[in-house]
Structure 1
Amino acid sequence: MDETNIARKITGAAFLSLDGVIQAPGGPIEDPTGGFEEGGWVFSLWDEQVSETLGKLFAGEYDLLLGRRTYDIFAAYWPYAEEPENRPMRDAFNAANKYVLTRGDQPLEWQNSHRLSGVDDVARLKAEPGRDLLIQGSSTLYPALLAAGLIDELVTMTYPVILGHGKRLFGDGTTVTKLEMTGHRVTNQGAIIAYWKPDGGLPPYPSEAPIAATSDREIERRKRMEDGSW
């Protein structure tokens, strides 16, 4: 790719449960914060179609855009991954620039790591020529980056499991965002792989939508909503 005048694309790729949980898909001790005990939940439902999707995501050259905790998880694992099946990913992650969005000042000791202090830094990075950016994990990044219009594509791999609690892909602070589905497939294990393009906020309430009820019962319901008794 000619990087001389092409701005970067930011793609977010996430494993999530049917109820939107993104926390600790990779292993039981990956992220137990908040009392989360279901770490490693993706692997009992893993299949070849998910592997194919990941292979396409990680093909070619890319840089990583990470939250600090996901960076810590990756930095403690991937540089030391000696298993033959993990070496290609290890080498690719080692070679990639790791851009870490963090308010802290902790050292970023993994090679090719760079600190970003806020969304404005991400915007400047995105506008520069360079390799496309891939978000892995890092649930805290999505609300701010979506609100700023910085995410170009989302790839969600939704598993047929309900976890009931845990960090969610779209957590507190997420703005109203309309998405356009650009592709999808269902795997043999029932995971839904979907590709989304953020498409702005919702349009105004349409004039042809149903008119709000005005019955006495509806008026009473609204009063109870206002006083908190509904």
Structure 2
Amino acid sequence: MRKVNATLSITLDGVVQGLGRPDEDTRGGFTHGGWGGKYNDDVMAAEMSKSMSNPTDMLFGRRTWTDFITVWATRIDDNPFTTRMNTATKYVCSRTLENADAWQNSILLSGDAAETVAKLVTEDGRDLTIIGSVSLVRDLHAAGLVDSYTLLIHPLTLGTGRRLFEGSAPLTEFELTGSVTTTKGVIIAHYTRL
């Protein structure tokens, strides 16, 4: 059975929206986009490189997949992130996309995300890594399909923005299986569902 790991950058008050760029996700009038950049350092890069070196397939929600296309699909620089993103099999969950042809090695999972991913994890194949895609993560968490989380907990609060868990989430217990603190105070915590 395939496992699902969700990797998310999060603030102390639970915000996951708009980490990378000011224009990344302005839904709801969010004005704090790009909050994560000043926290990058060599420790974080090394930890993310370790994670990206694991041979997993990728799993995306439509919005994140579409955004990642603009960042990764046309890059030709020689670094492990670009190579990994472009060569990995990428499953994209969407009710609106007609195809996933815009980015190489992408496969469309149409319909209800929890149903399609529940079927996917029973098939032979590599484990699945989700980067971002908070709406997808929420749906899969509610269906009991997220096996582990890697949370990059940033030392700031934003007060507004989309949070990892908005509304109700089922009682789920996790074990801390590892953690690293970066030089800029980000705690990279690895949790596995009990």
TM over 0.5: yes
Partner of 1:72: 66
Partner of 1:114: 107
After superposition, residues 1-230 of structure 1 pair within 5 angstroms as 7-84=1-78, 87-108=79-100, 109-116=102-109, 117-118=111-112, 119-199=114-194
**Considering only CA atoms, is the larger Rg found in Structure 1 or Structure 2?**
1
Paired AA for residue 106 in structure 2? S
When residues 95 and 158 of structure 1 are mapped into structure 2, their CA distance, relative to the original with a 3 A threshold, is: same
In terms of mean alpha carbon deviation, does 114-123 or 14-23 score higher?
114-123
Partner of 1:226: none
Aligned length: 191
Separation in structure 1 between the aligned mates of residue 97 and residue 180 of structure 2, nearest angstrom = 41
Separation in structure 1 between the aligned mates of residue 50 and residue 81 of structure 2, nearest angstrom = 13
Structure 1 residue 176, shift from structure 2 partner: 2.3
The secondary structure found in structure 1 opposite 2:134 is coil
Higher relative contact order (CA 8 A, sep 6+): 2
Paired AA for residue 131 in structure 2? Q
Q: Determine if contact 2:18/2:26 at 8 Å carries over to the other structure.
A: yes
User: Going by fraction, where is strand more abundant, 1 or 2?
Assistant: 2
When residues 115 and 15 of structure 1 are mapped into structure 2, their CA distance, relative to the original with a 3 A threshold, is: same
Structure 1 residue 105, shift from structure 2 partner: 3.3
Structure 1 residue 161, shift from structure 2 partner: 0.8
Alignment deviations for residues 128-178 of structure 1 (CA, whole Å, 9 cap, x no partner): 111111000000022221222211110101010111111111223422222
Separation in structure 2 between the aligned mates of residue 150 and residue 19 of structure 1, nearest angstrom = 24
Paired AA for residue 37 in structure 2? F
Separation in structure 2 between the aligned mates of residue 174 and residue 68 of structure 1, nearest angstrom = 22
When residues 60 and 198 of structure 1 are mapped into structure 2, their CA distance, relative to the original with a 3 A threshold, is: closer
Give structure 1 regions of 4+ aligned residues with deviation exceeding 6 angstroms. none
Provide the TM-score with structure 1 as the length reference: 0.77
Paired AA for residue 88 in structure 1? P
When residues 195 and 88 of structure 1 are mapped into structure 2, their CA distance, relative to the original with a 3 A threshold, is: closer
Provide the TM-score with structure 2 as the length reference: 0.90
Separation in structure 1 between the aligned mates of residue 25 and residue 86 of structure 2, nearest angstrom = 22
Separation in structure 1 between the aligned mates of residue 89 and residue 47 of structure 2, nearest angstrom = 22
CA RMSD of aligned residues (A): 1.6
Alignment deviations for residues 8-27 of structure 1 (CA, whole Å, 9 cap, x no partner): 22111111111111111111
Identity %: 38
Alignment deviations for residues 21-43 of structure 1 (CA, whole Å, 9 cap, x no partner): 11111111111121112222111
